[in-house]
């Protein structure tokens, strides 16, 4: 396994691999890798000749009052994990390498970035699409793997790839969960013991909504209300629901009333100081 820090070296490697007929799979991450990330890497390993994992905490996707400065990092541990999966290249550019002096370009996907997480994080998705567009140009992948944990992000990236004709296939990977149901996330490390113990209530409430849906309750509002009631009953720590909404899984449009499959229920919760997101296909 090789670690590359420079854009130029990364792109040269990718172009040479392409010329030699080797397919490339990219797994973009912000590091502090967990089983969710490793699952993306395993899927990439099965799919392509070469696996590139990028580790880059992207400053422009964080808002001014968000957790950029304290975002958890463990490069040595991450490199070991990548090595254990058989990753070929770990791309670890600095912020200066990605955003040199004078940088002033952005990639923006419009409508579907305004809802859900985009409503409370106004520049977040533009930061994501800008860096992912750059990573695509630097690593020239045939396949890029993204987790369904960030359901809206996956939809936004798919839109960008179609709209800008990136010549690659996006592959979504189901959410990997802890044994108690909590969706794995680097940010789970922020949770103090009591909040960590309460956090699985989020998945339990989504699962219950799914059960109610299967029993015939197909009104969006009723299901979302059931989720918020269940959370209010089961979480004692300071918490706030940012959104619970049901969206068409294919085109990311909101379903306000009667649900017609396929639909996904999505949630964002602030548990203490930690913002957690999750979703479940109904």
**Distance, CA of 168 to CA of 188 (rounded, Å):** 31
Choosing from 17, 29, 188, 218, the residue that interacts with ligand AMP (CB under 6 A) is 29
Instruction: Give dist(CA 43, CA 39) in Å, integer.
Output: 6
Alpha carbons 141 and 122: distance in angstroms, whole number: 28
Regarding 186 and contact with ligand AMP (CB under 6 A), the answer is yes
For every residue of 78-137, DSSP letters joined together read HHHHHHHHT-SEEE---HHHHS-TT--------GGGSSTHHHHSTTHHHHHHHHHHHHHH
Q: Rule CB under 6 A: is residue 149 a binding residue for ligand AMP?
A: yes
Between CA 217 and CA 197 the distance in angstroms is 29
Examine residue 262 and say whether the peptide bond preceding it is cis (omega within 30 degrees of 0): yes
The piece of 31-39, 115-123, 219-227, 246-254 that touches ligand AMP (CB under 6 A) is: 31-39
Residues 6+ apart with CB under 8 A from 224: 209, 244, 245, 246, 265
Of 14 and 175, which CB lies nearer to ligand AMP in the complex structure? 175
Closest CA to 109 of 54, 166, 24: 166
Query: Given the rule CB under 6 A, which of 13-21, 68-76, 179-187, 262-270 is the region that contacts ligand AMP?
Result: 179-187
Single residue of 173, 199, 202, 267 touching ligand AMP by CB under 6 A: 173
Phi, psi of 106, rounded to the nearest 5 degrees: -140, 150
Q: Residue from 13, 56, 143, 146 that binds ligand AMP (CB under 6 A)? A: 146
Tell me, yes or no, if 34 is annotated catalytic.
Answer: no
One residue of 150, 198, 245, 278 binding ligand AMP per CB under 6 A: 150
52 binds ligand AMP (CB under 6 A): no
Residue of 37, 121, 124, 159 that binds ligand AMP (CB under 6 A): 37
User: Smaller CB distance to ligand AMP: residue 171 or 212?
Assistant: 171
> What is the closest distance, in whole angstroms, from the C-beta atom of residue 62 to ligand AMP in the complex?
11
The binding site for ligand AMP (CB under 6 A) comprises: 29-30, 36-37, 39-40, 146-147, 149-150, 173, 175-176, 183-186
**Residues acting as catalytic residues:** 37
């Amino acid at each position: 396994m090789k670690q590359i820090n420079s854009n130029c070296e990364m792109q040269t490697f990718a172009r040479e691999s392409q010329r030699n007929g080797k397919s490339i799979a990219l797994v973009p991450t912000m590091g502090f890798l967990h089983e969710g990330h490793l699952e993306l890497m395993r899927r990439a390993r099965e799919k392509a000749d070469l696996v590139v994992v990028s580790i880059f905490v992207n400053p422009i996707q964080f808002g001014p009052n968000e957790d950029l400065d304290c975002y958890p990092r463990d490069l040595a541990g991450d490199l070991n994990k990548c090595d254990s999966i058989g990753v070929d290249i770990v791309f670890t550019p600095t912020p200066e390498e990605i955003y040199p002096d004078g940088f002033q370009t952005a990639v923006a996907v419009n409508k579907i970035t305004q809802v859900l997480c985009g409503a409370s994080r106004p520049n977040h998705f533009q930061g994501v699409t800008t860096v992912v567009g750059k990573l695509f140009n630097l690593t020239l992948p045939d396949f890029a793997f993204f987790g369904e944990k960030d359901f809206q992000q996956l939809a936004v990236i798919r839109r960008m790839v179609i709209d800008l004709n990136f010549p690659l296939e996006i592959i979504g990977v189901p959410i990997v969960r802890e044994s108690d149901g909590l969706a794995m996330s680097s940010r789970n490390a922020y949770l103090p013991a009591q909040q960590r113990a309460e956090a699985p209530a989020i998945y339990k409430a989504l699962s219950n909504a799914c059960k109610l849906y299967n029993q015939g309750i197909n009104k969006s509002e009723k299901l979302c209300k059931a989720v918020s009631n269940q959370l209010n009953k089961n979480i004692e720590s300071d918490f706030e629901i940012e959104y619970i909404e049901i969206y068409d899984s294919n085109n990311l449009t909101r379903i306000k009333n009667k649900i017609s499959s396929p639909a996904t229920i999505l949630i964002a919760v602030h548990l203490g100081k930690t913002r957690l997101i999750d979703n479940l296909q109904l």
